[in-house]
Every structure is written in C-alpha cells, then in structure tokens.
Amino acid sequence: MTDAVADCSVTTEQYYLHVDPANRVLATTRFTGDFGPLAANGPATMPVAWTRHYGSGRVFYCALGHRPDVLEEPSASRLTARGLRWAAHAL
C-alpha cells in the first residue's frame, strides 16, 4: 500500500499511542522528548498510520489531517487515499 509513497515532513499534532503489535505500521513520527511534562520520557517513535484486519473487515488509522494543509502534502494525501481504498476493499 505504501509503494511509491515518498517520505515526507509535515507539521501537525503528535500523540502518544498504545498500538497493538499486530497492526501493520505504515508511517511514524519522532517525538524529540523536549516538551512539557512528558520530557522525562525522552525521544520516542510513534505510529502515525497503520492497518489491521478485524474479522473480515479492514481498519485503516491515520493521525494526519488535523489541519487541511497537511493533506496538501502529496505523500500524506496519497497515503490517506490508499489507506481508505484498502479499507473499502478497493485495493
């Protein structure tokens, strides 16, 4: 699904996420560890987009897009579109 989707850099909200190890991580973000009360945790890599199967269903999650300009980045837009098509069984 991520073939030919180039790495990109966007500025958006970041989240700490607990992610099932069975998820297929498609994209990650790197926390620097230099922010507020979480600074003591240090740097961390967190998933931004992932897929998984749920019975015969498919789940696609993407944390990008809190602001419309994030999806103006071609790679972020392509990743989101492909993920939605995959979840709809169109890929």
Nearest to 72 by CA among 11, 4, 31: 11
3-state secondary structure of 68: helix
Q: Which amino acid is at 27?
A: A
Tell whether pTM > 0.75: yes
Q: Evaluate if residue 2 carries a pLDDT over 60.
A: no
How far apart are alpha carbons 63 and 57 in whole angstroms? 20
Q: Using CB atoms within 10 Å of the CB of residue 91, give its burial: 0 to 12 exposed, 13 to 18 middle, 19+ buried.
A: exposed
pLDDT in tens, 5-36: 677 677 777 777 788 999 999 988 888 777 77
